[in-house]
Amino acid sequence: MTDQNELVDAAKNALTISDRLRAVERLTDQNALAEVAIYAKDDSVCKEAVYRLTDQNALTKIAIHAGYDVNREAVKRLTDQNALAKVAIHPRYHNGGVHWEAFERLTDQNELVDVAMHSTNDHVRSEAVEKLTDQNALVKVAIHAPDHSVRWKAVERLTDQNALAKVFMHDATDYTVRCIAMKKLTDQNELVDVAKNARSKYVRRDAMKKITGQSLLIEVAKYANYCDACEEAMKKITDKHLLDDIAKMNSNSSHDWDGCQCRRCGETRSEFHDWDGCKCRRCGETRNEQHDWDGCYCKRCDKDRHDWDWPNTWLAVCQRCGREEEDDPTGYR
Ligand SMILES: [Zn+2]
Ligand SMILES: [Zn+2]
Ligand SMILES: [Zn+2]
Ligand SMILES: [Zn+2]
């Protein structure tokens, strides 16, 4: 009896425990061992299977899905940081807290970013932010974490001035994150960079408020990518001659609107759009009316309109296009 499938069967179902253990001892195939570790009924058989495993993917699967105690043996054998992160991301109820054991051994900053953003346990997510020290990793979390409390915690841990400026350069959309970052951003050169280049006019305005030196204001007035920052800087420059020079350089420092968009700097405003159905021809802004439907999807913007029905409680199916979703797409159930 050398066939691995038969050995799996014996490990799970042989009459005596010694036969079941003997079967495991002859198993070599990593997937077969994983199957025994998860589904065999005796803990000793399951653990024997785990001791024979080295494959990190199989061990990860066991750490997540096997019963209490067997999962712990699997975590002990995990060495790969990515595998440990997976266990920390998918804690199961009644797993005896093995996700914490995996988490404690995590040090890789990129994997910790993943855990901070995606673990299904909010306590794990929060602790992952505590373990992050790499400033660029923290910027990523402050901008992209789906959970707001994680984003706020990440921005609180930012100290590096260049990293704080990056929060604005990468267009953080969370208002609180931006407020915290702006409060901590004091380096005048970084502030000049933000005032000149940040895509949000509110961010540019807030940065301008914190810039004081005349030479820095001149830098903004001359080289800002957006008219509003130039205009604001010129208001604060006191030297008349310099102002004349700058005015010669930028014939006009305020926006030159062409409908919704400035001809000079490309900034947009939320009026005077040139609507083509649901989308503005000039700036690409969309509105939730006059869509051009092709089945369930708008041909112009990325809006969809499925017609959900529930053939059973856990599966929603669109009656128009057949799309299936397990989570409730309407938010009603
Ligand atoms: Zn402009
Ligand atoms: Zn527009
Ligand atoms: Zn549309
Ligand atoms: Zn549909």
DSSP code string of 241-269: HHHHHHHHHSS--S--EETTEETTT--B-
| Helix (H) and strand (E) counts in the chain | 19, 9
Token pair belonging to 230: 């130039």
Taking only the tens place, the pLDDT of each residue in 139-149 is 999 999 999 99
State mean pLDDT over 297-322.
90
Cα–Cα separations (whole angstroms), residue 216 to 109, 220, 323: 36, 6, 55
Domain membership flag for residue 26: yes
Ligand lying nearest the CA atom of residue 292: 3
Greater confidence, 254 or 273? 273
- Return residues with CB closer than 5 A to ligand 3 (ion): 278, 291, 298, 300-301, 303
State mean pLDDT over 274-300.
95
The CA 304 to ligand 3 mean position distance, Å, reads 8
Q: How many domains does the chain have?
A: 1
Domain membership flag for residue 6: yes
pLDDT at position 190, please?
97
pLDDT at position 252, please?
65
Ligand lying nearest the CA atom of residue 263: 1
Domain membership flag for residue 156: no
User: Which DSSP symbol is given to 279?
Assistant: E
**Going along the chain, which residue ranges are E strands?**
257-258, 261-262, 275-276, 279-280, 293-294, 297-298, 308-312, 315-318, 324-325
When the pLDDT of each residue in the chain is averaged and rounded to a whole number, the result is: 92
pLDDT tops 80 at residue 154: yes
pLDDT at position 312, please?
80
Token pair belonging to 43: 């803990």
pLDDT tops 50 at residue 170: yes
Taking only the tens place, the pLDDT of each residue in 210-228 is 999 999 999 999 999 999 9
The CA 171 to ligand 2 mean position distance, Å, reads 20
Residue in the block written with tokens 């051009």: 292
Question: How many other CB atoms sit within 10 Å of the CB of residue 183?
Answer: 12
Domain membership flag for residue 319: no
Token pair belonging to 100: 């914490």
Structural domain boundaries, residue 85: 1-106
Domain membership flag for residue 136: no
Domain membership flag for residue 145: no
The CA 144 to ligand 2 mean position distance, Å, reads 26
Domain membership flag for residue 10: yes
Model pTM?
0.79
The CA 174 to ligand 2 mean position distance, Å, reads 23
Domain membership flag for residue 18: yes
Q: Are strands 308-312 and 275-276 parallel, antiparallel or unpaired?
A: unpaired
pLDDT tops 80 at residue 250: no
> Which of the four pLDDT bands, split at 50, 70 and 90, describes residue 331?
low
pLDDT tops 60 at residue 10: yes
> Which of the four pLDDT bands, split at 50, 70 and 90, describes residue 314?
confident
